[in-house]
Chain A
Amino acid sequence: MPDQRSVLILGGGSDIGRAAGLAFAAKGWTVRLAGRDLQGLTREADDIRTRTGATVSVHRFDALDTPSFDGFLDGLPALPDAVVSAVGVLGDQGAAERDVAEATRIMRSNFEGPALILGLVANRFEARGSGTIVGISSVAGDRGRATNYIYGSAKAAFTAFLSGLRNRLARKGVHVVTVKPGFVRTRMTAGMALPGLLTVDPDVVGNAIYAAVEKRTDVVYVARAWQPVMFAIRSIPERLFKTMKI
């Protein structure tokens, strides 16, 4: 018996978005991929449909075009059972330190856009009394570091937003999942030297997202080793931390 549930994936053309789509489709969910590049999304939708036989649709969505959000949600065939935000950009830390436009783009793409759309989704889920919201945040938000604090601070804000949303909706039948993937082998990290134990492939993240929705997990560190690592990093006194290169 195929599952009748549907999931909306914002940033559906990203590697993690694609992996999440595949994970849900493999379980028979209907998948709606949303993003800016309809041609790229169609390629992913064809792929997911061919691999799994699931129903897959594509929808135009621009995370920086906040006034369009209400209309976007109203235009969906139905309010989905789950929404995953895989929207985000790593950006260029160095450029963002000098260039307000780049810093703005990073902050808006990683915090403002995802938070505002999920806030609107939350209201609709609250009114219905059910639904699961998944935000892909980042371990980079657990503590600001010199090498990526603009991205990290936006992710920190997003993590706080998801935490507050979870708190608000906990007794309203709506569940909120925060996912911190750690390093993932994706376009975002292509060319970076990644530590093996802390790095996973996108399909691992996709399956972890699906499992978190089914089990109603609150916060997921995908590569488990991240949890103690980030605990240690958060525990370093600021007086010491500020002089470190990590």
Chain B
Amino acid sequence: MTRLTGWGRYPDLETELVEPRRLGEVRGAFAEADGVIARGNGRAYGDAAIGVRRTVSIRQLDRMRSFDPETGRITVEAGTLLGDVIAAVLPRGHFPMVVPGTRHVSVGGAIAADIHGKNHHRDGGFGASVERMTLLLPDGSTVETSPTLEPGLFRATVGGMGLTGAILEATIRLKPVESGWIRQRTLPAADLSSVMRALDAGDEATYSVAWIDTLASGRNLGRSLVFLGEHARADELGPKEAERYPALAGPRLSVPLDFPSFTLNRLSVGVFNRIYHRVNARREGAPFTVPAGPYFFPLDGVGAWNRIYGRRGFVQHQCVLPPETAESALGEILERVARRGSSSFLAVLKKLGPSWGMLSFPKPGFTLALDFPVTDDLASFLAGLDEIVVEAGGRLYLAKDSQQSRATFEAGYPDLDGFRSIRRRLDPDRRLRSHLADRLGL
């Protein structure tokens, strides 16, 4: 037995960790186990990838099977990291349809959480780029599924948090790009309604996301920077961009130990936020070119950044709110966060579109992600935020979650009954069970 956490380093739970090295060994790892779940690279924040009894790491299943540069299709084993896919295909003029905020996610995990990127409003989630996948079902059989082959199973598996079976292999669609550079524009927004308007106006952009200063309050509430981006065309590259496809760099610095819990307080985060806002606001309007790596994965530049929140870990609270209710609900949430003071290092606002999976998180509206170091009063504070989310018709992202109540969850996911009935059919004995599944009655 060993203890495992997600990326948030909270909660810390006991499980048996097994690590098959070949596809053929995965079946054995799942057979006869009760309370088992697959785990990718452990980048879900909470308890999604920790089995109640056993956790099967698929990280060793990281072999790429084939790549067709003509059609832009790549087939990989599910433990392959998205960063490795980028390293393989970007020099040949391709890029994943969807990338999240870190390149250290496995392809299997990306499907199971139906992750989204800065282009969700235009291109949908990761699941929308999955052409087909091989799934190991709870009964030990292996099936192929795609949007047209066993479509019900496909819709339950995309975003299904590994609860329909273990994803073994997938073929994903890539998009052609002319360079590894992004043309970025930064627009400062003075308050919440202007950032929301700026994101609405940014619908035309391929990538859009806003960074909120969570310590700003009063008439500055929601003060933000909006980042828009496009893949740079070859004819947009200047002499500074001599290397057409710059490599994704490794971390430039790393957090070697847990920060003491007092490091992040109103003062330090406030100073950081103000400087960050000022530096970026200076670049207003004029587009500039950055490599894809730091554009999409800024925090990958800091190894083990999850340690800055201290030994007790942290919780990321990410909700999505429908367009009609978003502004008032976001205002209320941000006010509470500003009042609380012990703030979020990272507060990201972005627009989402509809999605594929029955339990996929994205739906049309605005999503807000906030980090909170774990403290004694955090659970009750977050329960308060969840009430606002439910009231507004919103929901929380399972890949980030470790806190929400079953009622909050059930209120947010209308396809839940359909998912549960597929689960009952595939896994009548409930052999696949993560801590998240038990907590939320999945």
Contacts and interface: CB of A to CB of B under 8 A. Distances in A.
Interface stretch (B63-71, B130-138, B152-160): B63-71
Chain A interface extent, by class: 10 to 19
Interface of A: 40, 43-44, 46-47, 49-53, 187, 190
Interface in B59-86: 63-67, 74, 76, 84
15 contacts: A40-B22, A44-B63, A46-B65, A46-B66, A47-B63, A47-B64, A47-B65, A49-B66, A50-B74, A51-B64, A51-B84, A51-B87, A52-B88, A187-B21, A190-B19
B22 A50 contact: no
Interface of A is mostly: helix
A75 B64 CA distance: 28
Interface residues of B, number: 14
Contact of B66 (A40, A44, A50, A187): A50
Contacts of A46: 63-66
Nearest to A15: B21
A194 to B, nearest CB: 15
Contact of B67 (A44, A50, A187, A190): A50
A190 B19 CA distance: 10
Interface of B: 19, 21-22, 63-67, 74, 76, 84, 87-88, 92
Contacts of B63: 43-44, 46-47
A53 B22 CA distance: 23
Nearest to B19: A190
Contacts of B21: 187
Nearest to A50: B64
Given A43-B63, A50-B64, A51-B84, 11 more contacts: A40-B22, A46-B64, A46-B66, A47-B64, A47-B65, A50-B66, A50-B88, A51-B64, A51-B87, A53-B92, A187-B21
Contacts of A49: 66
Given A40-B22, A187-B21, A51 B65 contact: no
Contacts of B22: 40, 43
5 closest Cβ pairs, A-B complex:
A50-B64, A47-B63, A51-B88, A50-B67, A47-B64
Which of B21, B64, B67, B74 counts the most A-chain CB atoms under 10 A from its CB? B64
